[in-house]
Amino acid sequence: MRGRAGERGGGNGSARGLPLSLTPRASSARLDPRKGGGNNSDALGDTSHNTNSRLPLPLAGEGWGGGFAASDTVRIEGTSSTSIADSYPTVVVAKQHNAILIHSLDEAAVRAGVSIGLPLANARAICPELTVFDADEVADRKMLEDIADWCDRFTPLVALDPPHGLYLDITGCAHLFGGERALLQIVSGALSRRGFAVSAAIASTAICARTVTRHASGKIVADGEEAEAVAPLPVSALGAEDAITAGLRRAGLKTIGDVALRAPHEITARFGASFTALLQQALGQGDGPISPRKPLPDYIVEKRFPDPVATDTVIAMNLSALATMLVTAMDKQGKGARKLEASFFRTDGAVRTIPVETGRPVTKPEVIDRLFRERLEALNDPLDPGFGFDLIRLSASRTEIVVQQQRDLDANVHDSDELSALIDRIAARIGGKRVVVHLPEDTHIPESAVRAVSAQHHLAAATQAAWPERIAGEPPLRPLRLFEKPEPIKVPFATVPDGPPHQFTWRRVTHAVVRVEGPERIAMEWWKQNGDGPTRDYFRIEDEAGQRFWIFRDGLYESELADEEGEPTPPRWFVHGLFA
Amino acid sequence: MSTARMSTLATLRGSIERLEQGAAHDLNKIALGHAAADSVLQGGLAVAAVHEVFAEGHQSATATGFIAGLAGRVSSRRPLVWVRQDFSEIEAGALSMSGLAELGLDPRLLVTVRAADTDAALRTAADALACDALGAVVLEVWGQARQLDLVASRKLTLAAQASGVTALLLRVAAEPRPSTAETRWIVRAAHSPPSAPSMPAAPWSAWGAPVFDAQLVRNRHGPVGRWIMEWNCDESQFSEPASHPQPVVATPARRPHQAEAFSLQRRAS
């Protein structure tokens, strides 16, 4: 079953409800001010009031016909319009095409004769007592995302239908909540209690559900009855482009039923194939996919609490119980988890998701437990239980088949297991990018000869990497410490062209050169794009104190160290590394 | 003195001895290769203990080379975890894998942890020390870190003893403070050995393997000392400094007469 939530559309001529950015207005109506647009709280607001804003929550669902038949769709539509009769009409405006237009409004404003898209100046002329707020689309979007996070508790497949809608694919989920009707009531009831205007419907296709929500909330369209359900609705309920809607009206096709009566090829010829597809989906004759926000995890285990849990010990205990359940489930199919996510659903609607990655498939609950403990301890922004969590979910978003390895007598396998477990723990604490192994690169350029890669993902490759062999009997040819960016040094004069300096100044200290080896000439990779650059002459230098440097001159005399007129330019010297 | 008291004393002495043996944990020592240093250390560097290497700020590369040598000796083909702070990479450059390979160590066995600050580095090092699959853990801390006090050092020592992994602390630009380290070294760069007398003096003469002026300033179970040590890249061990910076061929017993005009010693190509 699929669901979606969106705003009650403006298509049916009724008020296109105010979107959720109507903070000041909402707070005047005793809604939790945190809920509002500009605020950064991720809570969905409190439950203090339920009359003032509505989030239409069209849950569309049907299609259990013949067992698993069609996927059902819940559509949730959101509007937050105020319905206090004696309140002043309120509008939210946004600047579009250099004009300040009405972006959304409440019912009082509709009664006053204002409509969406009207310039603000005209609206003021119609209704001088308008209260005006600026639209905050970013906050609206964030609010919708937060609601979507909250909806994750019903189904893992939640898709956004901007600007005001959500789809929930509730196929196979409804029975967990007591059936479609009960689910619909839970979703719309919970959101209305938080002060949103909700219009929800359940249908077998997403588009059908969305279309139905534009008209009425709480409708469940049975499988096979989509056409009947949508036929009396106005064409604007389809949510097609304005040009198409206007074109249909002009052609005298007022309702979806009228359009459905025409032959598809006529419609396609006039309005394009995409509209035909939309129409067919609304009529239940075809189905289009929704795009869920997150990929479906391979395994999910969750625990719901009648009383919210808030103490760390209880949370940790439940998390480890969930880890055991997850491992049992994965073990049946011989899988191990590479990426895990723990989601904590707070009673006030906020959801916190904490991911953990591992270097090799995890098959032990205690390892999962320990990784999450490390991760939770190290969070910059600690897990805030607030009034408690009422749902904790553990999901394995990426799993791999576990290859059972024969244990060597010399315990090599054990050692590499231990090492990768250690890397996972450190990565869980300080971040996967901070634990690195190195791979050789086939290049002469010293600073790019080595590539640092995440140890979690490349440990096996790194332990088998082929590094260039060192030449026996030679002193070290490459420095032990290499500066990412060569540091410029001052060389007073160059005695011999192409020769080393007698002294140089680095970091304000002058070093006299006592021993020198070089030059080692390294040309840039001219055969690559953007690989051209001055040739470097490297010298290995020991100063009077025994310290050893790797310095180079950027550019060759005569050919490269010359300006356009052929006049020689002074060479630049750099220290690139330090030898032991 | 009564017999009872004597026997109590004996028991106490025995238990103190046992305790000290347990603390020393010196069953396992790995020779560094430098004979004088090894004899002072009674066989070599103790594994499953904490060793500190101090150096001045501008000597960081030398100290890195020395500690890489120690790590190479004690880890013996087992993985090595190198924990460092972001700051030391900016200040002294990143540890170069090709440089490590040139010293005769294996970059494949190295896992680098890039800790943001001292706290994270210390915590990571303690975690890593608890993992007995490792050969050694190097903790590189720049400057006088307040967090690395006696308590932290004690924790590291206990973790090292429990797992048998050696902890090597590289303290650049720091002053030695009380700690539970088994040994403490102060390392400076030393000159390459003088060139062969036959070779013309100075600038163009080459230098050889890394040479350290290593001062053992603390040794929990023995005397201290100061040596010039050379790292032998081919054999991956320390040694006495060679008399010449580069290998010298032996004088053949019978030389062709054209060569007699040349000096007795010749540098190998």
SS (H, E, C) A31-75: CCHHHCCCCCCCCCCCCCCCCCCCCCCCCCECCCCCCCCCCCEEE
B14: in domain: no
Q: Which residues contact A199 (CB under 8 A, 6 or more apart)?
A: A6, A8, A54, A55, A56, A57, A58, A76, A77, A78, A79, A213, A214, A216, A217
> Structural domain of residue B66, as residue ranges?
25-261
* Angle between the N-to-C axes of helices A264-271 and A273-282, in degrees from 0 to 180, rounded to the nearest 10: 130
pLDDT at A564: 75
Query: Does position A37 have pLDDT exceeding 60, yes or no?
Result: no
pLDDT top residue among A163 and A369: A369
Range in A379-383, A493-497, B4-8 the model is least confident about: A493-497
Average of pLDDT values for A516-527?
A: 87
Contact call for B99 and A435, based on CB within 8 A? no
Query: Does position A410 have pLDDT exceeding 80, yes or no?
Result: no
CATH code (residue B239): 3.40.50.300
Average of pLDDT values for A576-580?
A: 91
**Predicted confidence band at B229 (pLDDT cuts at 50, 70, 90)?**
very high
B4: in domain: no
pLDDT at A292: 86
Query: Does position B64 have pLDDT exceeding 90, yes or no?
Result: yes
* pLDDT tens track for B234-263: 888 898 887 766 655 555 565 555 444 444
pLDDT at A217: 80
Neighboring chain A residues of B132 at a CB cutoff of 8 Å: 418
Spatial strand order of the sheet with A389-401 comes to A299-309, A389-401, A335-346, A351-362
pLDDT at A78: 46
Q: CA of B255 to nearest chain A CA: how many angstroms apart? A: 25
Neighboring chain B residues of A414 at a CB cutoff of 8 Å: 133
pLDDT at B68: 94
**Tokens (6 digits) for A458:** 């490349």
Average of pLDDT values for A368-396?
A: 88
Q: CB-CB: which of B96, B104, B206 is closest to A479?
A: B96
| Mean confidence (pLDDT) of chain A | 79
Q: CA of B110 to nearest chain A CA: how many angstroms apart? A: 7
**Predicted confidence band at A22 (pLDDT cuts at 50, 70, 90)?**
very low
User: How many domains are contained in chain B?
Assistant: 1
Q: Which of A411-415, A445-449, A478-482, A567-571 is most confident?
A: A478-482
pLDDT top residue among A526 and B187: B187
Q: Which residues contact A252 (CB under 8 A, 6 or more apart)?
A: A258
pLDDT > 70 in chain B, percent: 82
- Inform me whether the C-beta atom of residue B131 falls under 8 Å from chain A C-beta atoms: yes
Query: Does position A68 have pLDDT exceeding 80, yes or no?
Result: no
pLDDT top residue among A273 and A12: A273
**Predicted confidence band at A84 (pLDDT cuts at 50, 70, 90)?**
very low
Q: Residue B234 phi/psi, 5° resolution?
A: -75, -40
**Predicted confidence band at A82 (pLDDT cuts at 50, 70, 90)?**
very low
Range in A57-61, A206-210, B259-263 the model is least confident about: A57-61
| Mean confidence (pLDDT) of chain B | 83
Neighboring chain A residues of B134 at a CB cutoff of 8 Å: 419, 422
pLDDT > 90 in chain B, percent: 43
User: The tokens 């490269």 sit on which residue?
Assistant: A560
B130: in domain: yes
**Tokens (6 digits) for A114:** 């204002």
Nearest residue of A to residue B79, measured between CA atoms: A419
Query: Does position A83 have pLDDT exceeding 80, yes or no?
Result: no
Average of pLDDT values for A558-570?
A: 77
Cα B162 to the center of its chain, rounded Å: 21
**Tokens (6 digits) for A397:** 């978003």
Contact call for A472 and B234, based on CB within 8 A? yes
pLDDT at A358: 86
pLDDT top residue among A503 and A415: A503
Average of pLDDT values for A34-46?
A: 34
pLDDT at A412: 62
Q: CA of B176 to nearest chain A CA: how many angstroms apart? A: 22
pLDDT top residue among A70 and A133: A133
Q: Which of the 8 DSSP states describes residue A116?
A: T
B268: in domain: no
* pLDDT tens track for B91-141: 889 999 999 999 988 999 999 999 988 999 999 999 899 988 899 999 999
pLDDT > 70 in chain A, percent: 83
The answer to whether the beta carbons of residues A526 and A532 sit under 8 Å apart is yes
| Predicted TM-score of the model (pTM) | 0.71
pLDDT at B22: 54
Q: CB-CB: which of A418, A464, A473 is closest to B234?
A: A473
Range in A18-27, A457-466, B199-208 the model is least confident about: A18-27
pLDDT at A434: 92
Q: CB-CB: which of A509, A545, A580 is closest to B210?
A: A580
B17: in domain: no
Residues A7, A9, A15, A21, CA torsion sign: positive
**Predicted confidence band at A45 (pLDDT cuts at 50, 70, 90)?**
very low
Q: Which residues contact A289 (CB under 8 A, 6 or more apart)?
A: none
Interatomic CA distance for residues A405 and A190, integer angstroms = 50
Nearest residue of B to residue A547, measured between CA atoms: B189
Contact call for B101 and A470, based on CB within 8 A? yes
pLDDT at A343: 92
Range in A108-117, A250-259, A406-415, B25-34 the model is least confident about: A406-415
**Predicted confidence band at A7 (pLDDT cuts at 50, 70, 90)?**
very low
Q: 145-184 in B: which are within 8 Å (CB) of A?
A: none
Contact call for B210 and A437, based on CB within 8 A? no
pLDDT at A480: 93
Contact call for A463 and B108, based on CB within 8 A? yes
B1: in domain: no
What is the number of other CB atoms lying within 10 angstroms of the CB of residue B177?
Answer: 14
B120: in domain: yes
Average of pLDDT values for A453-480?
A: 88
Average of pLDDT values for A480-499?
A: 84
Query: Does position B201 have pLDDT exceeding 80, yes or no?
Result: no
**CA neighbor of A196 nearest in space, from A29, A11, A352, A74:** A29
B11: in domain: no
